[in-house]
Every structure is written in structure tokens, then in C-alpha cells.
Amino acid sequence: MRYNSENILTAAAVNPNDPESAFQSLTLRDDIRTTGGGINFRLGVIYKPVDMLRIGASVQTPTYMQLTETYNTSLQAQFNRPIVIEGQSYQSARSALDPNLAEYALTTPFKATGGVAVVLGKYGFISGDVEYLDYSSARLRNYNNNQYNFSADNDDIKNLQQSAVNLRVGAEARFDVLRARLGVAYYGDPYKTSSVDQSRTYLTGGLGLRQNNFFVDVAGVYGKGNSRYTPYTLLNADGRPSAVDTPVVKVADKQFTTTVTAGLLF
């Protein structure tokens, strides 16, 4: 697997041209790059009581993954006019931490899935499935002689996360060489005590064309959900995170993506 994430948070002056203030903007940049691989096993069965009905069930073992992660963070300030600090004049200032490299192992939750499909002959099909997994069972471990102690992280996973149920329903209609598809998916909130419901909902639709040796598909996915973002954590006098002073932002996001695929059959 390969995962890259770049988060940029910018705070700008309400009036950047205010002659009474030298402040223009402050930008926090976080960059995470993760690579690795893993292994799991899946076992499933399909039962066909009548020709048009399929009933299925499957279980997937926890996935064991070995990951390498590089983390970079920087903070940059821009000023309307030069400011002087300890005899030095600055129009802008930037501070960055040394890159942090971490190697660790991750075990993801066990999954159990059940589903039903109704095949409507040459006219299409309707299917649905339900999936259960317990996010609190995920675990982090040392890998490649990494001396970091993951006990606190694993305690947080156990205490903050919970089991969830995911639901998916979809249908395809066939009109000669044309295909039309609709679907909806709901992914349950994995957090136990979050003040924000972080479940997600997706609506999908698509059209396709099938020929003996050629196909083309156009699909769209609309997703919406809420999340929490904490740009930094402030500590109490005892060194524990402050739930009062640490800023928390509720993010309501909506996304729409489209894909176009085409292929030749030989």
C-alpha cells in the first residue's frame, strides 16, 4: 500500500492591509507518507435456495500489516512589513521539525459480512450486504527493532473506538446493451465518545454500454459526513491533554467523484 496525506491550515488577518498590524498569515503544514504491505485470509459461502436468489456470508481475519511512515511538519508566518526580533529583520519566518521516521506493525479488525442478491434474469439484479467490525480491536506493535511503546496508543484505540455496522444496497438494470446502476452505502461511526457523529453516507449511480468485445462505464459517487479536526493539542499542568483549551473544529464535508472506464475484450 501507499498513502500520502498533506494538510494545510492557514489563518489570515481579517484585514491583511491593516497598518496597525504586521501580521498577514500563519500556515501550518502536515505531510504524512506511509508505505507497506499486509496479509489476511477470507472464507465465504454462497447458498442458492432457488435460481434467482443468492445468500452469502464471509469472514475475514485481521489484516497484519508492516508499515513505514514519514512525518514532516512546518509552521510559516508572513508579515505585512518587516519585524525585528533580537536584532534580525524578518518579512517571513518558517520553523520545521526534523522528519520523523517510524516503522511499526498494525493489526486491523476482524470482519464478518452477510449478503443477499436477487437476480432478475437478463433484466438485472438487486443486492445488499451488511458488515460488522470492531474498530477497538485494532492494535499497534513494534516492528524492525522500533523501541517505541504503543501501550498508550492501544489503550486509546480500545477506549475511544467501538464496533460499527456498515450497510450497502445496490441495483443494476439491463436494457439490451445498456446498463444503469444505483446504490447507497452507510458506514457507521467508529468513535465511542465523539461529540460529532462521524458516520458516512454514499450515493452512487452509473451508466454502462456493453458490446461483445467492448465496454464503457461512467460512474459518480456522492459522499457526505462529519469529522473532527484538532490542529494542535494543549496540555494541562499535569502533562495531560486539555479538553477545554485544545481547539476542536467540526468539519462537514461533501464530495463528488466521477470515473470513466473503457476496455476491449479479446
In angstroms, the CA 147 to CA 142 distance is: 7
- pLDDT band, very low/low/confident/very high, at 243 (cuts 50, 70, 90): low
Neighbours of 142 (CB within 10 A): 13
Residue 193 placed within a domain: yes
Residue 178 placed within a domain: yes
Residue 182 placed within a domain: yes
In angstroms, the CA 219 to CA 227 distance is: 26
Is 209 within 8 Å of 261 (Cβ atoms)? no
**All residues at 6 or more sequence positions from 212 whose CB lies less than 8 Å from its CB, including other chains:** 265
Cell of 147: 523501541
Is the confidence at residue 241, as pLDDT, over 90?
A: no
Mean pLDDT of 32-39: 95
Q: pLDDT tens digits, residue range 70-86?
A: 999 999 988 888 877 77
Q: Among 46-55, 182-191, 238-247, whose mean pLDDT is lowest?
A: 238-247
DSSP 8-state symbol, 177 = T
Is the confidence at residue 244, as pLDDT, over 70?
A: no
Buried b (16+ CB within 10 A) or exposed e, 184-197: ebebbbbbeeeebe
Is the confidence at residue 56, as pLDDT, over 80?
A: yes
Residue 217 placed within a domain: yes
pLDDT of residue 79: 86
What is the average pLDDT value for the chain, to the nearest integer? 90
- Which one is predicted more confidently, 54 or 152? 54
Burial of 164 from C-beta contacts in 10 A (0-12 / 13-18 / 19+): buried
pLDDT of residue 18: 72
Q: pLDDT tens digits, residue range 160-185?
A: 999 999 999 999 999 999 999 999 99
- What is the CB-side half-sphere exposure of residue 202 using CA atoms within 13 A? 20
Residue 234 placed within a domain: yes
Is the confidence at residue 64, as pLDDT, over 80?
A: yes
pTM of the model: 0.76
**All residues at 6 or more sequence positions from 153 whose CB lies less than 8 Å from its CB, including other chains:** 140
Total domains, the chain: 1
Is the confidence at residue 212, as pLDDT, over 80?
A: yes
Cell of 134: 470492531
**All residues at 6 or more sequence positions from 237 whose CB lies less than 8 Å from its CB, including other chains:** none
Residue 260 placed within a domain: yes
Is 74 within 8 Å of 29 (Cβ atoms)? yes
Is 127 within 8 Å of 118 (Cβ atoms)? yes
What domain range includes position 217? Answer: 167-265
Is the confidence at residue 240, as pLDDT, over 90?
A: no
Residue 134 placed within a domain: no
Residue 208 placed within a domain: yes
- Which one is predicted more confidently, 91 or 34? 34
- Which one is predicted more confidently, 233 or 59? 59
pLDDT of residue 196: 85
